[in-house]
Amino acid sequence: MKKVRLSIPQMMFVIGTRAALAGGVALLNSDRVKRQTRRRIGWMLAGIGVLTTVPAAMMARRNLVA
């Protein structure tokens, strides 16, 4: 198994990326907020999550420990 060594701020960035994506998808699937507001915020969070996944993945790949 390969290990990834990340500092606390790097780990928080990766966690925040995953949380934004999950929160956006959850909002898109919920019915508790007005439709227009829910869709706008949901797509924004999902988009941020997707866009920040690439730098997070590259950072994790650079920090692989054999």
Within a domain: residue 2?
no
pTM (global) more than 0.85: no
Q: For residue 13, is pLDDT > 70?
A: yes
Within a domain: residue 37?
yes
Q: Which long-range CB contacts under 8 A does 1-9 form with residues at least 24 apart?
A: 2/64, 2/65, 2/66, 3/64, 3/65, 4/60, 4/63, 4/64, 4/65, 5/63, 5/65, 6/59, 6/60, 6/63
Within a domain: residue 43?
yes
Q: For residue 10, is pLDDT > 80?
A: yes
Residue range(s) defining the domain that contains residue 40: 9-65
Within a domain: residue 1?
no
Count: domains in the chain: 1
At 8 the pLDDT is 93
